[in-house]
A and B are shown apart, each in its own frame.
Chain A
Amino acid sequence: VQLVESGGGLVQPGKSLKLSCSASGFTFSSYGMHWIRQAPGKGLDWVAYISSSSGTVYADAVKGRFTISRDNAKNTLYLQLNSLKSEDTAIYYCARRDYGGPLDYWGQGVMVTVSS
């Protein structure tokens, strides 16, 4: 199992960014997937979840601004980040949800910095 995030970078407040998480080594379409973030020096903060059938759930802090999606043909998970704020600055991880519920595999993370 391998999860590789990409698409991070430095972006101005109010702008947009799209993160990708490329999955391999398992049947991507059969698993739910999460995005979790970690601000510098802080703890883990759950962002969003998409089920294998593409149902979605969001944290209140990002609802209406971020959109999680998936392309099973490309084995890729996405996170569209709009109206970015300085408090969105963090490492963003994608993680696989195992059938029992835990986040059993995590990517290496991608840094998003929101600053003018």
Chain B
Amino acid sequence: EIVLTQSPTTTAASPGEKVTITCLASSSVSNMYWYQQKSGASPKLLIYSTSSLASGVPDRFSGSGSGTSYSLTINTMEAEDAATYYCQQWSSNPLTFGSGTKLEIK
């Protein structure tokens, strides 16, 4: 099983600040996906195929990485970005998610 380790576990950012969330895989994966989950809501796809923005996602979000190291960046933090973020892989079974990064607004 490929374990995805996200860091930080929790973080806070001021409006306008840049935020980077890291996802390290225990083995190399070909693609990474990122989801945003706001309190009480279902997860929403943000990034697919490592760096492609899902439909309707603001361009302040971006993804990058390869092999075992991936990241999600929010270029300028906005209050509505407060949420928990998960990375996900399915390069091999089973499909796995990272443990999540809770992002709060300062």
The segment from A14-22, A23-31, A72-80, A98-106 found at the interface with B is A98-106
Give the residues in chain B near A34, CB-CB below 8 Å: 95
Instruction: Convert B83-95 into 0s and 1s, putting 1 for each residue whose CB lies closer than 8 angstroms to a CB of A.
Output: 0001010100111
B43 within 8 A of A: yes
A-B pairs under 8 A by CB, number:
55
Count how many chain A residues have C-beta atoms less than 8 Å from C-beta atoms of the other chain. Answer: 22
Is A102 a contact of B43 with CB atoms below 8 Å?
no
Within 8 A of A (CB), among B68-106: 86, 88, 90, 93-100
Contact of A44 among B45, B49, B86, B93 (CB under 8 A): B86
Residues of A close to B95: CB separation below 8 A: 34, 46, 49
Ordered by A's residue number, 20 sampled pairs between the chains whose C-beta atoms are within 8 Å are A43-B86, A43-B97, A43-B98, A44-B37, A44-B43, A44-B88, A46-B95, A49-B95, A57-B93, A95-B43, A98-B48, A100-B49, A101-B33, A101-B90, A102-B33, A102-B88, A103-B88, A104-B48, A106-B42, A106-B43
Q: Complex: how many Å from CA A64 to CA B41? A: 30
Report whether A107 and B33 are in contact in the complex, using a CB–CB cutoff of 8 Å.
Answer: no
Q: Is chain A's binding surface mostly helix, strand, loop or mixed?
A: strand
Instruction: Give the B interface residue count (CB, 8 A).
Output: 22
Give, as a whole number of angstroms, the nearest-CB distance from B26 to chain A.
Answer: 16
Q: Chain A interface (Cβ within 8 Å of chain B)?
A: 34, 43-46, 49, 57, 59-60, 93, 95, 98, 100-109
Least Cβ–Cβ distance between B61 and chain A, in angstroms: 14
> Can you name the residue of chain B whose Cβ is closest to the Cβ of A45?
B97
Measured between beta carbons, the chain A residues less than 8 angstroms from B33 are: 101-103
